[in-house]
Structure 1
Amino acid sequence: MPGAKGTESAVRLRGAGRRRLLAAVRRMRGPEGGSAGGPRVVSARSALGLRGGGGSGTGGARTPRARQSVGRRVLTAAALEPGGRRESALRVPASRPWAAAAGRPGMAFMEKPPAGKVLLDDTVPLTAAIEASQSLQSHTEYIIRVQRGISVENSWQIAGLSLPLPPKKLIGNMDREFIAERQKGLQNYLNVITTNHILSNCELVKKFLDPNNYSANYTEIALQQVSMFFRSEPKWEVVEPLKDIGWRIRKKYFLMKIKNQPKERLVLSWADLGPDKYLSDKDFQCLIKLLPSCLHPYIYRVTFATANESSTLLIRMFNEKGTLKDLIYKAKPKDPFLKKYCNPKKIQGLELQQIKTYGRQILEVLKFLHDKGFPYGHLHASNVMLDGDTCRLLDLENSLLGLPSFYRSYFSQFRKINTLESVDVHCFGHLLYEMTYGRPPDSVPVDSFPPAPSMAVVAVLESTLSCEACKNGMPTVSRLLQMPLFSDVLLTTSEKPQFKIPTKLKEALRIAKECIEKRLIEEQKQIHQHRRLTRAQSHHGSEEERKKRKILARKKSKRSALENSEEHSAKYSNSNNSAGSGASSPLTSPSSPTPPSTSGISALPPPPPPLPPPAAPLPPASTEAPAQLSPQAENGVSRGALLSSIQNFQKGTLRKAETCDHSAPKIG
């Protein structure tokens, strides 16, 4: 841009321009890629031309039209990792992701993953909040704070968001009031994206909000792995990649065919490891290779399966009808996930008989897996394949890979859903809701359910999605099978289930299942503590609570002032009493025994004095008085009464004392 300073630079991406771009980045990062001033956010920005098919512009000044196109299509981002390492993200057109994405170098299929590789849970929600804005020459940049999950430590900042969002102005768009108004609208836009269950898991959203963890091109990585696989298995051939048909970022699909059977179509799925992979490499590969031997009328059969230490490849037959979710949303199986399910044109649930039949079939296969000790936890409508009028479960390998569940952000909020069996039942509630109403629930738990084709459907939904169910725990699969909605469904199938798992692998599955549940319980505990802390902070910062604290502070200050005055008065009265007793003490001496003073006896009568010496009764009078006052105070005599008696004291009411002074000198 004209007049750009600091980190602004205009570069081209052709020929030597690429080298200049890298040199500019090195200059902006400084020596050793850091600075002595501690961690800070650095925005490395490059103004790139957007001509026609994506060609670069000149390195000099740009026309206003060229600047406008850059502002519309260019995303500016600079990220700071939680560990404090400074990162610089280039400003690149959205149509050229390769200009900024740093792809992971390709690995051979049987090569081990890097030792320090971090396995991320992609279902952890990202939250974005606009913290500030700044005006730079002819545009405005908004500072966004992005946080991963509930931990404040897993937060970073992205600077420079330029999106064509309303409200817009051509004149006066640098006014402070307009920028504040636009910032509110932009914050609402971000809130909608990050709270939408499908949009928040979209790869584009993850890459924009979290470029450090999602910079790799997983399609290219999958192609490298698949190509290495085809070297050892030449009978398979790739027809085309099925782009974004699933919701997982690290799972890719390819349409396949067998060379000697060119008309048959198959689907190859490649998936990376997840954060819940606790099986050893040997047990993991053995279990993956066992999947083709699993025969069940309600499990979609695996044609071929293989695995290495970092990923898996599975091949299944391609089904033109698609999944149960495709049936509900009237979608085509090959379309992208967002296009199919994010904003359906028509919302309509299934018929009651379909709900009963499909629900019973799904519960039967869940019971089969639970009895076998095989962990699942990945039930949703896209993982149920339709084969005629039969539902068949997909993706048994997900739990072996340690992939997070589609509904993890829901059931991780409830501490009673802490086993994979209860997770399956809760996910079945989501699936049943979607089959009944044609859409997922707006929020969980569900307070009230819309009218359903049958009250028996509502009864099952209440047992899995209601507030009481989420608070007290899920029913078992056997209990759901006994409910009226499914108990009268007759299943006609002649196929006998077969899935033999060796005893050693069963023990490995049991240990892995316990580890998965342990991580879930720990995450639920952290979320619960964070929720309590947030609730306490919001309550403490409310206006009503502030008023209460002010009133309590005033009362406390008044009470402390009153107590201080009472203590001062009590000290004053004690000093007077001690002064009175001290004045009468000189009247008695060992040489001249005299009766005790009547002033001390008139207030509180002392016990009988001892015979010798005669001066002994006076000290008990002074020491016994406070000893007798303390029980009275304990019996309910308030300090106010003591203060009033002191204030109403009249000196004239005292009786004069007559003494015979024999100590005066005699003059003879």
Structure 2
Amino acid sequence: MQNSTPVTVDVTHPIKCTLIDWKRLPDHVEYVIEVNNQLEIGKSWRIHRRYAEFRKLNSQIEKFGADLGFPPKKFIGNAKEVFIKQRMLALQEFLDAICLHPFLYACPVVVNFLESFTETYTGLHEWILLSFRDKRQWIIEQQRKHCGWRPGKIHYEIRCGSSKLMLSGVRYGPDRFGPVASLNNALEFLRTLQCPHLNESITSWATDGGIIYIRPIFKKGTVRDRLYKSSWKDDFFTKYRIDSSIFSFEMYDIRLICRQLLETLTLLNAISVPYLDAHAGNVVITECGCELIDLDQVLTGQPSFRRPSMLYFQTINTLEDMFVFIFGEFLFELLTGFFTFPVHSANEAIAIVPLMFQPLLKSIFLPEVRSLPRLQDLINSSLFVDVSIAKMKQREIRIPGDIKEVFDGLCNNMLERYKRDRRQFNNIKKQRKFEQLLNSEAEKLRRKEIIKEQLKLRTVGEENC
């Protein structure tokens, strides 16, 4: 399989950044950062950054509204060793805060700062122009540089006659499967699906470098744009500031949107299309109801930003389990505006949503048994059983053999890598728990008592001799 993709790393992998040293140069101080990919044993690298580069990074991501505790600039005494060490501690806290959420540590400005993803917008732009040279009916008008969170993805407003459209290009990810020819066949198949709650792209094609697709521009934005009362044209961190007030949907509207999404996820699960980016930023509301967009990018094998949260759950073992999980996160986002479900405080999180939604969220995030409900179980729940929706007219969907091979291979890659990463993640959690136990006061006291007892026994033995 040919693949000229520059990078196929998983940028959602949890990372750890440690400031390990500093050095004074003639006109500034450089800090040495060790970056560790926590799910790939032995994968770490070191970078050198000066305070001005930290400050530039902070100015780019502080638009998000998160308090990252960035240390202020100091003009006098900033070369003294005592001050440098104090600043180093503050910068460590700043990096720790960034590493808490994939929206921060995996966003383009941070991955470029940390060198965890090295391709620039220039490289992406050249790829698009090269792939676009024989598409003379499309005219590129404007690049939308910062409207998404994912590195390796680029957006343009384009024109065809009097119609304005959106072009997106996505690099291949670590789960990609199949040669370019098979991917193009699969893209054509996806555009033929007649699901009323799936918005097919106008056109799409695969290249050696990634997948490009063109879709309509939705002037009212996505469901997430409606939640945050933002313009689809604004950059990601400005649109979705965490201190923004959130628009509340009516309870029936939430039930209707979710029921329509469940219908789409059921279809995708049936034909083994592992589209796990079903979040409020990829759902639009049209005169036909809610529609899922950007399905084409599933064939790139890029990971979902929900993947780090999935690693905490032993109940996720199949594609359907993943669909159920992302549906739970989608519902939670509609109710609260939070991008991801806070797995560390599940009880408190569920307690803040309306009572009618709590049992379903508990069945997903706090299951009483070691398994998740099925998609059909969610459809048959009291929340959705009486919600009427438009359904597919097609009774049967026939998938050609080469396309089925692409879908199955993509699913296998995704599930196998997920399970491998989860094992490593569990090992890390056990190691941390063990280290915390060793360093606890109770454990230190227990070890001290054991040593005292051993010394006492040794003394008695020597006296008997």
Cα offset, 1:300, TM superposition: 0.5
Q: Find the aligned partners of 1:412 and 1:453 in 2 and give their Cα distance.
A: 24
Q: Find the aligned partners of 1:503 and 1:184 in 2 and give their Cα distance.
A: 57
In the alignment, which residue of structure 1 is the partner of 2:94? Answer: 189
In the alignment, which residue of structure 2 is the partner of 1:312? Answer: 211
Cα offset, 1:564, TM superposition: 5.5
Cα offset, 1:389, TM superposition: 6.1
Cα offset, 1:170, TM superposition: 4.0
Letter paired with 1:203: P
Note if 1:404 corresponds to 2:306. Answer: no
Note if 1:551 corresponds to 2:456. Answer: no
Letter paired with 1:429: G
Q: Find the aligned partners of 2:392 and 2:299 in 1 and give their Cα distance.
A: 29
In the alignment, which residue of structure 2 is the partner of 1:427? Answer: 326
Match of 1:220 among 122, 145, 149: 122
400-409 or 178-187, which deviates more:
178-187
Contact 1:376 1:396 in 2 (8 A): yes
In the alignment, which residue of structure 1 is the partner of 2:59? Answer: none
Match of 1:343 among 204, 217, 242: 242
Letter paired with 2:105: S
Within a 5 Å distance, the mapping from 1:26-425 to structure 2 comes to: 113-114=3-4, 118-136=7-25, 139-151=28-40, 153-163=42-52, 165-210=70-115, 213-217=116-120, 219-258=121-160, 261-262=161-162, 264-388=163-287, 390-425=289-324
Q: Find the aligned partners of 1:206 and 1:289 in 2 and give their Cα distance.
A: 33
Q: Deviations over 1:47-83 (max 9, x none)?
A: xxxxxxxxxxxxxxxxxxxxxxxxxxxxxxxxxxxxx
SS of 2:19 mapped into structure 1: strand
Q: Deviations over 1:132-189 (max 9, x none)?
A: 3344456443322221234462222223421455355444444444333322222222
Contact 2:306 2:326 in 1 (8 A): yes
Q: Find the aligned partners of 2:34 and 2:361 in 1 and give their Cα distance.
A: 38
Contact 2:314 2:370 in 1 (8 A): no
Q: Deviations over 1:8-62 (max 9, x none)?
A: xxxxxxxxxxxxxxxxxxxxxxxxxxxxxxxxxxxxxxxxxxxxxxxxxxxxxxx
| 273 and 440 in structure 1: CA distance in 2 versus 1, 3 angstrom threshold | closer
Cα offset, 1:363, TM superposition: 0.5
Does 1 or 2 have the higher relative contact order (CA < 8 Å, sep 6+)? 2
Query: Scaled by the length of structure 2, what TM-score is found?
Result: 0.88
| 175 and 256 in structure 1: CA distance in 2 versus 1, 3 angstrom threshold | closer
| 495 and 188 in structure 1: CA distance in 2 versus 1, 3 angstrom threshold | same
SS of 1:484 mapped into structure 2: coil
Contact 2:14 2:99 in 1 (8 A): yes
Q: Which has the larger radius of gyration?
A: 1
Cα offset, 1:112, TM superposition: 5.4
Q: Find the aligned partners of 1:126 and 1:453 in 2 and give their Cα distance.
A: 31
SS of 1:146 mapped into structure 2: strand
Note if 1:473 corresponds to 2:371. Answer: yes
Contact 1:270 1:314 in 2 (8 A): yes
- Fraction of identical pairs, as percent: 27
Cα offset, 1:493, TM superposition: 6.0
312-321 or 500-509, which deviates more:
500-509
Q: Deviations over 1:257-277 (max 9, x none)?
A: 21xx31x12111111111001
Within a 5 Å distance, the mapping from 1:451-490 to structure 2 comes to: 454-466=354-366, 468=367, 472-490=370-388
| 508 and 182 in structure 1: CA distance in 2 versus 1, 3 angstrom threshold | closer
529-538 or 382-391, which deviates more:
382-391
SS of 2:211 mapped into structure 1: strand
Contact 2:4 2:208 in 1 (8 A): no
Contact 2:127 2:209 in 1 (8 A): no
Q: Find the aligned partners of 1:162 and 1:439 in 2 and give their Cα distance.
A: 32
SS of 1:449 mapped into structure 2: helix
Q: Deviations over 1:490-533 (max 9, x none)?
A: 22468658854224432442243123211110110011112111
Structure 2 gaps, min length 5: 56-69
Contact 2:200 2:295 in 1 (8 A): no
Match of 2:435 among 532, 537, 541: 537
Contact 2:204 2:214 in 1 (8 A): yes
Contact 2:182 2:406 in 1 (8 A): yes
Letter paired with 2:442: E
Contact 1:378 1:398 in 2 (8 A): no
Q: Find the aligned partners of 1:276 and 1:521 in 2 and give their Cα distance.
A: 13
Aligned residues: 448
Q: Find the aligned partners of 1:283 and 1:442 in 2 and give their Cα distance.
A: 36
Q: Find the aligned partners of 2:77 and 2:209 in 1 and give their Cα distance.
A: 54
343-352 or 425-434, which deviates more:
343-352
Contact 1:123 1:408 in 2 (8 A): yes
Q: Find the aligned partners of 1:204 and 1:360 in 2 and give their Cα distance.
A: 36
Q: Find the aligned partners of 1:308 and 1:114 in 2 and give their Cα distance.
A: 9
Structure 1 gaps, min length 5: 1-110, 569-668
Query: Scaled by the length of structure 1, what TM-score is found?
Result: 0.62
Q: Find the aligned partners of 1:202 and 1:509 in 2 and give their Cα distance.
A: 28
Letter paired with 2:94: Y
Contact 2:202 2:214 in 1 (8 A): yes
SS of 2:361 mapped into structure 1: helix
